Structures are given as C-alpha cells and as structure tokens.
C-alpha cells in the first residue's frame, strides 16, 4: 500500500482517498438533510455546542469553541443553512489538515516499512479512519485532534509553554481530551528532555482546568429553554450525570467494543516491540483513554480516540530516537487485525458499524 502512495502523485492520491472517505462518512447526513429538508439530529446535536458560549452562560464545560465562533455565527439566523455551512466547513478544513499531516508523517521517502502500510490502510478504508470523522462531522473531538497534533509538534520543537496553552484549550473545548490527548502530550514532553518540569508544565494547567470544570462546568438550569429551539437538541449534556448508564447493550456489543479498544493498544505494543523499548510513560498514556468507556456509552467514538492517541505516539517516535513503525510480522497478529480493517463504513458512536445494514 505504501508503494502506491510514493512520490508527489502518490501523496496526492492518499490525500484524495482520505478526503473521499471523509465525505462518504458524511454523505448519509447530507442525504437525510436533502430528503427531509432539515438537518439530521446528528448535525443538530453538534451544532448545539457551537451555540454555547461563556458570554451567554458564563464559565461551563465545552464553552470555548462556541465563544470563539459566536461572532461569526451571530451574522446568521439560528439553525440556518449558513450556520451549518460554517460548522461543516470548519470541520472539513480541520480534517483536511489532519489528512495532510498524516501524509507528511507516514509517507516519507526515508520510510517504507510494512507496518506503516497497515496504518495507511486503516486511515483510508477502515472504520476508524477518516470515514469516521466524516460520519461524526463537527464533533468537538476533531478540534481537539488538531490542537493535540499542534501541541505534539510544539513539544517536539521544545516549545513547552505554547504546548501547555494548547492542552489547556483542549480541556475547554471538550473534557474528554483529559483521557486520550493530555496524557500523551504530557508523557512526550517529559521524555523529550527527561524533564519533570516540562511534563508538569503540560499536565498541571490541564488538571487545574479539569478541576474547574468539575466544580463550575455544569449548570443547574436546563439550557434547552435558553438556547434557540432549532439548535438545542444536545442541551441536556450540561445537566446530566458524569457517569452515563450503559443502556443494557447486548453482550456482543460489549465484545466488539472491547476488540475495537484493544487493537490500537496492540499496535502500540508492536511499535514498542519493534523499537526494543521498555514500556514507559508514553506507552501507558493511550491506556488512559480506556477510562472513557466507563464515563459514556460512545464506545465507537472512544475506540477512535484511542487509535488517535496511538497514532500520536507512533508519529512522535523519531523525536525520541525511535522508528515510526509497528512490527506486524507474525501472521496471527495480521489475522487479528483484518476484521478491524474491513471497509464496513464508520465505526459509529454509540451504535457500532451504522453502515452495516446498507452493506450486508
């Protein structure tokens, strides 16, 4: 697969295929919108977050992006097509940036490892690739993916203070970053120069932000009455309990969720095995994402976040004198990975593999 993407034309092909995957994930939402004449619930849910700002509601969870976007959205009618165009346009730009970044990191002239080829396959066709970002378009996680990538780049260049600012911003965009992004950036900052101070400069502001969100981030009043009715579908997230019930999914659902969470961590193990490096803080960091499975039922989304954490660790390898690759030599290991790679549409959010009824 990597040979297919060699050279300038090959890199352009990779970017094109990832972009197509993104729009394939988004397509059902656009089709539902065109058919019904109004945005589907998935997009309305994410639009709610774009309308929650500090200016309107004071300090609260997930208020940073809405505060930044408020001057732009104020020009348009609430829930209008123009607002959704801005929201989806921002998400598409972020995902394009992530695609280009992936091409830069994993399609290098000096690397032709087999393991990287499997990672490229995952990004292009697998349910945890860019098709998932399109299916979950405009989720706040995508903003945090971009901020996390920038924070890792800042740490790689020794810019710890800017990285700390970016990590703190992630917490104010969406608190789930505390589990899938903050530990990776913190561990990388510590290992880059073996400096506890660098690690503390990243972790402490994020932890202070997390404490502030726990104390002051929720609201007593239901926001559905305060938000415009066209965009208030997700208002309940600011008043619900921290632990979301598991909803009594069938046992197969939990087995699949466990498999989806385990595969990125297996890739992480094989990355360390290839580099003959003992487990360290950076190895342990993506495991923090497992806590999300206890905090919410979006199991597909959480497994996608853990995959992103693993990709960050692998991408950062050269800065630590390691190889940016994974050892997938053993045949049984490849067999375990194949179901994870099958092009079955997006991995989903709470409902896993939502495209399967259309495929089978």
Domain coordinates in residue numbering, the chain: 3-220+229-359
Is residue 298 predicted with pLDDT exceeding 70? yes
The pLDDT assigned to 224 comes to 87
The pLDDT assigned to 3 comes to 63
The pLDDT assigned to 220 comes to 73
Question: Residue 352's beta-bridge partner residues?
Answer: 348
Residues in the chain: 360
| Average pLDDT estimate for 71-90 | 96
Q: Which residues contact 46 (CB under 8 A, 6 or more apart)?
A: 87, 137, 138, 139, 140, 234
DSSP 348: B
The pLDDT assigned to 109 comes to 62
Yes or no: say if 141 and 305 are a contact pair by the CB < 8 Å rule.
yes
What is the C-alpha separation between 161 and 205, in angstroms, rounded?
10
What is the C-alpha separation between 251 and 36, in angstroms, rounded?
34
Is residue 111 predicted with pLDDT exceeding 70? no
pTM for the full predicted model: 0.95
Quick count: other Cβ atoms within 10 Å of Cβ 143?
22
Residue with tokens 């498999």: 259
* Alpha carbon distances (Å) from 181 to 39, 85, 129, 299: 30, 28, 18, 17
What is the C-alpha separation between 300 and 306, in angstroms, rounded?
10
Q: Which residues contact 235 (CB under 8 A, 6 or more apart)?
A: 48, 222, 223, 224, 227
Count how many Cα atoms sit within 13 Å of the Cα of residue 226 in the half-sphere of its side chain: 14
The pLDDT assigned to 245 comes to 58
Yes or no: say if 136 and 349 are a contact pair by the CB < 8 Å rule.
yes
Task: Give me 242's structure tokens.
Answer: 């921290």
* Alpha carbon distances (Å) from 103 to 5, 16, 97, 162: 9, 11, 10, 24
Is residue 2 predicted with pLDDT exceeding 60? no
In the three-class reduction of DSSP (H, G, I as helix; E, B as strand; rest coil), residue 68 is classed as: helix
Q: How confident is the model at residue 232 (pLDDT cuts 50, 70, 90)?
A: very high
| Average pLDDT estimate for 153-174 | 97
The pLDDT assigned to 296 comes to 87
- In order, the DSSP letters of 295-344 are H-S-HHHHHHHHHHHHHHHHHTGGGGT--S-----SHHHHHHHHHHHS--
DSSP 352: B
Q: How confident is the model at residue 222 (pLDDT cuts 50, 70, 90)?
A: confident
Yes or no: say if 95 and 134 are a contact pair by the CB < 8 Å rule.
yes
What is the C-alpha separation between 183 and 164, in angstroms, rounded?
12
What is the C-alpha separation between 185 and 207, in angstroms, rounded?
13
Phi, psi at 352, each rounded to 5° = -85, 145
Highest mean pLDDT among 2-16, 99-113, 281-295: 281-295
Q: How confident is the model at residue 242 (pLDDT cuts 50, 70, 90)?
A: low
Yes or no: say if 356 and 345 are a contact pair by the CB < 8 Å rule.
yes
Is residue 360 predicted with pLDDT exceeding 50? no
Q: How confident is the model at residue 24 (pLDDT cuts 50, 70, 90)?
A: very high
Quick count: other Cβ atoms within 10 Å of Cβ 210?
17
What is the C-alpha separation between 131 and 254, in angstroms, rounded?
22
Yes or no: say if 256 and 336 are a contact pair by the CB < 8 Å rule.
no
């Amino acid at each position: 697969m990597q040979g297919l993407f060699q050279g300038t034309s090959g890199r352009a092909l990779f970017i094109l295929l990832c972009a197509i995957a993104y729009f394939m994930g988004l397509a059902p939402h656009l089709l539902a919108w065109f058919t019904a004449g109004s945005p589907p619930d998935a997009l309305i849910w994410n639009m709610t977050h774009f309308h929650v700002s500090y200016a309107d509601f004071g300090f609260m969870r997930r208020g940073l992006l809405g505060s930044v976007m408020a001057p732009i959205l104020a020009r348009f009618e609430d829930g209008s097509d123009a607002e959704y165009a801005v929201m989806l346009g921002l998400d598409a730009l972020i995902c394009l940036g992530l695609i280009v970044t992936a091409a830069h990191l994993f399609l290098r002239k000096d690397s032709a490892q087999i393991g990287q080829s499997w990672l490229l396959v995952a990004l292009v066709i697998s349910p945890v690739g860019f098709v998932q970002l399109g299916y979950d378009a405009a989720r706040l996680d995508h903003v945090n993916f971009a901020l996390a990538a920038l924070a890792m780049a800042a740490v790689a260049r020794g810019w710890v203070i800017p990285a700390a600012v970016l990590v703190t911003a992630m917490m104010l965009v969406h608190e789930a970053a505390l589990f899938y992004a903050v530990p990776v950036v913190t561990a990388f900052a510590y290992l880059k120069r073996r400096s506890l101070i660098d690690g503390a400069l990243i972790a402490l502001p994020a932890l202070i932000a997390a404490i502030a969100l726990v104390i002051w981030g929720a609201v007593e009043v239901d926001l559905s009455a305060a938000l415009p009715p066209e965009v208030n579908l997700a208002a309940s997230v600011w008043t619900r309990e921290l632990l979301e019930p598991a909803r009594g999914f069938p046992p197969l659902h939990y087995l699949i969720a466990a498999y989806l969470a385990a595969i990125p961590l297996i890739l992480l193990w094989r990355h360390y095995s290839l580099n003959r490096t003992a487990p360290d803080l950076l190895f342990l960091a993506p495991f923090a994402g497992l806590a999300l499975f206890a905090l919410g039922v979006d199991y597909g989304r959480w497994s996608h976040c853990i995959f992103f954490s693993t990709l960050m660790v692998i991408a950062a390898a050269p800065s630590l004198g390691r190889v940016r690759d994974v050892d997938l030599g053993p045949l049984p290991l490849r067999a375990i990975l194949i179901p994870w790679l099958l092009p079955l549409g997006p991995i989903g959010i709470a409902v896993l593999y939502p495209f399967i009824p259309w495929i089978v």
